Amino acid sequence: MRRGLIAALALATILPLPAGAQRAPVILSTTTSTQDSGLLDVLVPLFERQTGYAVKTIAVGTGQALVVAARGEADVVLAHAPELEKKYVADGKMLNRRIVMYNDFVVIGPADDPAKIKGTKRAADAMKAIAASGARFVSRGDNSGTHLLEKRLWKLAGVDPAGGWYIEAGQGMGATLGIADDRKAYTLTDRGTFLALQKRVRLPILLEGDRPLLNVYSVMEVNPNNGPRVNAAGGGAFAAFMVSADVQKIIKTFGVDKYGQALFVPLAGMKEDEVGGKE
């Protein structure tokens, strides 16, 4: 009985309203990488048409996206920093974390590759070589999921990045790619944003395929106890939408027509330790 009631309530949140009816907007706190990839430009209008909710998107680094949600200033979060996300769930700030999709991170840099990282198998070894060479590296420097992974790679490499070669952008992925391109520098980027902007970014991929570079995106509902403005029904509806079969099919083919490959791999229903085994 309880399961049936929960299912009915969840279904009610995603069914369309009668004509003329309005719902409170859904505030989505998400990463600049999902915004820059163009995926939300497809999914958000579809969600709005299907449910009658209007969506307001806040695109920031994952760390800031979670802070905004913890203050009760968002209803749902789409992010890509698993360990940080789990801390917010454990603290009760976020609820019902579900994996949505993944892509991977790559290291790009100047074609002449002054640090000689092309052919390197381990990302940490590549980062160590970049630091040793003194070649420029542009960091997002914004506590995003990308930045958190970068810091982890420096730690694995035994490097404390500092000096004139290390440039902290303090900006999102798209802007960071632009700076790296202008400076002919190395940077760490998610593949989806890189593909979406590759006509403007002339730096080639020099390292890819190392397992630590997997980039998992999850959706989380914001605990309504975080603040009186939290739209729990709307946030729950968007979370259910992201893991629905129809949306997972869209994710599976998104980007193929434009870039020759999908920008993301759908993951709903899978466990994190299975990531990377599904292509």
Q: What is the per-residue pLDDT across 6-58, written as a single tens digit (0 to 9) for each?
A: 343 344 444 555 544 568 999 999 998 888 899 999 999 999 999 999 999 99
Q: What is the mean pLDDT of residues 245-259?
A: 96
Domain range enclosing 174: 104-213
Quote the pTM value. Answer: 0.81
Q: What is the mean pLDDT of residues 96-109?
A: 97
Q: Are 100 and 267 in contact (CB under 8 A)?
A: yes
Same domain, 92 and 180: no
Same domain, 63 and 22: yes
Same domain, 109 and 204: yes
> pLDDT band at 217, cuts 50/70/90?
very high
Same domain, 143 and 224: no
Residue 182 lies in a domain: yes
- Radius of gyration over every alpha carbon of the chain, rounded to an integer in angstroms: 19
Structural domain total, the chain: 2
Measured distance CA(190)–CA(37) in Å, rounded? 10
Instruction: Give 153-211 pLDDT, tens digit per residue.
Output: 999 999 999 999 999 999 999 999 999 999 999 999 999 999 999 999 999 999 999 99
Q: Give the H or E element holding residue 195.
A: helix 191-196
Which pLDDT score is estimated for 16? Answer: 53
Same domain, 144 and 204: yes
Q: Are 142 and 115 in contact (CB under 8 A)?
A: no
Residue 12 lies in a domain: yes
Q: What is the CATH number of the domain that holds 86?
A: 3.40.190.10
In the chain the first and final C-alpha atoms are separated, in Å, by 38
Q: Two tokens at 206?
A: 């020099």
Which pLDDT score is estimated for 271? Answer: 74
Q: Two tokens at 8?
A: 């009915």
Same domain, 209 and 221: no
Q: Two tokens at 191?
A: 């593949």
Q: Which of 179, 196, 213 is the last residue of a domain?
A: 213
Q: Give the H or E element holding residue 149.
A: helix 145-157
| CA 205 from centre of chain | 19
Q: Two tokens at 64?
A: 């800031």
Which pLDDT score is estimated for 249? Answer: 98
**Length of the chain as a residue count:** 279
The DSSP result for 166-194, as a single string, is EEE--S-HHHHHHHHHHHT-EEEEEHHHH
Residue 158 lies in a domain: yes
Q: Are 13 and 234 in contact (CB under 8 A)?
A: yes
Q: What is the mean pLDDT of residues 243-257?
A: 97
Residue 277 lies in a domain: no
Q: Two tokens at 193?
A: 């944003």
Residue 275 lies in a domain: no
Same domain, 200 and 110: yes
Q: Are 191 and 263 in contact (CB under 8 A)?
A: yes
Same domain, 92 and 225: yes
